[in-house]
Amino acid sequence: MLTVRKSGTTKFMLPGGKLEPGESAAEAAVREVAEELGVRLGVQDLTLLGEFEADAANEPGHLVRSTVFTWAGEVTPDAASEIAELRWASLAEITEGAEFAPLTREYVVPALEPA
């Protein structure tokens, strides 16, 4: 799984950000991936994984609510915008790693693992 660390933060998380007015979650995902990774996706290429809420990784005392999509293609991302670092990690590495955001570690990875 591709994770990112934003400038001025310590935790790795999924690429993404806040919705712009009138934008769907899928449209925001496509825009954020283009801005942060330089990767062009289409809304029709995304698969909804779910909506999750967890403690914010870099803002103590706050919650983050996220609509998460998957995309199974191959990419060659470049860190752009506020992204300081990219990291490819296995699901096991994320589950065991304190350097990953709670939302990714505690909710997204379990949703991806086969039952």
pLDDT for the residue numbered 29: 97
- Answer CATH for 2-112 from 3.90.79.10, 3.60.15.10, 3.40.50.261, 3.40.228.10: 3.90.79.10
CB 53 within 8 A of CB 65: yes
pLDDT, tens only, 12-68: 999 999 999 999 999 999 999 999 999 999 999 999 999 999 999 988 899 999 999
Model confidence, pTM: 0.91
* pLDDT band (50, 70, 90) for residue 115: low
